[in-house]
Chains A and B, each alone.
Chain A
Amino acid sequence: MNNLEKLKKAFNEALEIPLEIINDELSYGAENWDSVAHLALVASIETEFDIMLTSNDVIDMSSFKKAKEILEKYDIHF
């Protein structure tokens, strides 16, 4: 599984949304992505990529596109 697929899996599991609708446009507030789901997403990404996100990462991760940009900082490339 490549990094993009792993990230989509994390979103799919945390937000419980179909893989087909996960794209760069997906952002907080859409598809039931609320505060609780956001915490689930953070936990899911940390597990999937075996990293520890910072508070700044958590508040900045407002879209799928932003999630990819944040993960680049951890040498996770897409």
Chain B
Amino acid sequence: MIEGLKFRKAKKDDIDFIIEAIIESEKSSSDMISSCKIFNFSEQEFIDILKEILIQDIPDYDYYLSGFIIAELQSERIGTVGSWMEAANGTASGMVKATVLFQYLGAAKFKEINKNTKVIKGLTLNREPGTLQLEHGYTKEKFRRQGVFTNVIKQNIKENLLHHSFSKVQGILFNENYKSYKAHLKLGYKVVEEKKVEDPGIYKYFPYNSKVLMELSEENFHNF
């Protein structure tokens, strides 16, 4: 691990860095931001929406500001990963996300979605209630391959163990995003479900055509 690396919970000052992380995570080593393609946003519109949403610090889904842990080196933000407890209050994170987007954008924006959903539904994976979810892991380019990603994930799990009881950690990612996929395997994650869409129309919305639900069991993370 890099000497001098520090970890802390995210604050409102970190929002720009977290947006950078969310966008890089959506791109998954490609140039495509899936949310922009699905909802017909420009990148700037997406950034503006994320700013408005993150500042509200709404729990139980992937844009939960306080769920992010920041890795810092000499006061420079160099890595992060977000987290939330799935269905902590009985509502699936997907429902929370849909409601927040509805609240900020109104239903009119979504009348066009009907035309888009058929092909992307094939990549839907369901998260298990009561599990810790980790998403939007990101390390700045020049600090990669130095253990930042691994350690920010470990710190996030440790932080959540102080407040919640859970026996599994899950994450959904493109398995063709090899760097991220391999980093998860190295931590002890295992693939529990895979979805693949053969229709080439999928590439209009996603950079890859297959996604995996990965899981880390208690025996892997109890000694982090």
> Residues of A at under 8 Å CB distance from B?
13-14, 16, 28-29, 32, 34-40, 42-44, 46-47, 52-53, 55, 58-59, 62
Q: Chain A contact residues: over half helix, strand or loop, or mixed?
A: helix
Residue of A nearest to B90 (CB): A62
Does B161 sit within 8 A of A, measured CB to CB?
no
Residues of chain B lying within 8 A (CB to CB) of residue A58: 95, 98-99, 102-103
Which of A39, A40, A46 counts the most B-chain CB atoms under 10 A from its CB? Answer: A39
Rounded to whole angstroms, the CA-CA distance of A34 and B97 in the bound complex is 10
Q: Is the CB of B107 within 8 A of A43?
A: yes
Q: Chain B contact residues: over half helix, strand or loop, or mixed?
A: helix
Q: Which of A13, A35, A59 contacts B114 (CB 8 A)?
A: A13
Residues of chain B lying within 8 A (CB to CB) of residue A40: 110, 113-114, 117
In the complex, how many angstroms separate the beta carbon of B212 from the nearest chain A beta carbon?
A: 16
Does B96 sit within 8 A of A, measured CB to CB?
yes
In the complex, how many angstroms separate the beta carbon of A62 from the nearest chain B beta carbon?
A: 6
Q: Is the CB of A34 within 8 A of B110?
A: no
Q: Which of B184-205 contact A (CB under 8 A)?
A: none
Does B163 sit within 8 A of A, measured CB to CB?
no
Q: A35-B97, A59-B96, A62-B95 are in contact. Are A42 and B102 (CB under 8 A)?
A: yes
Q: Which of B91-130 contact A (CB under 8 A)?
A: 91-99, 101-103, 107-108, 110-111, 113-114, 116-118, 120-122, 124, 126
10 pairs, CB–CB < 8 Å, chain A vs chain B? A14-B114, A28-B92, A32-B121, A35-B93, A35-B94, A58-B99, A59-B91, A59-B96, A59-B99, A62-B95
Q: Which of A13, A29, A37, A42 contacts B107 (CB 8 A)?
A: A42
Q: How many A-B residue pairs lie within 8 Å, measured between CB atoms?
A: 78
Residues of chain A lying within 8 A (CB to CB) of residue B124: 32, 34, 37
Q: A14-B114, A43-B110 are in contact. Are A34 and B96 (CB under 8 A)?
A: no
Sorted nearest first, the 9 A-B pairs with minimum C-beta distance are A35-B94, A32-B121, A38-B98, A59-B99, A39-B110, A43-B110, A34-B124, A40-B113, A35-B98
Residue of B nearest to A38 (CB): B98
Rounded to whole angstroms, the CA-CA distance of A62 and B93 in the bound complex is 12
Residue of A nearest to B61 (CB): A35
Rounded to whole angstroms, the CA-CA distance of A44 and B120 in the bound complex is 18
Rounded to whole angstroms, the CA-CA distance of A6 and B126 in the bound complex is 28
Q: Is the CB of A28 within 8 A of B95?
A: yes
Rounded to whole angstroms, the CA-CA distance of A52 and B111 in the bound complex is 13
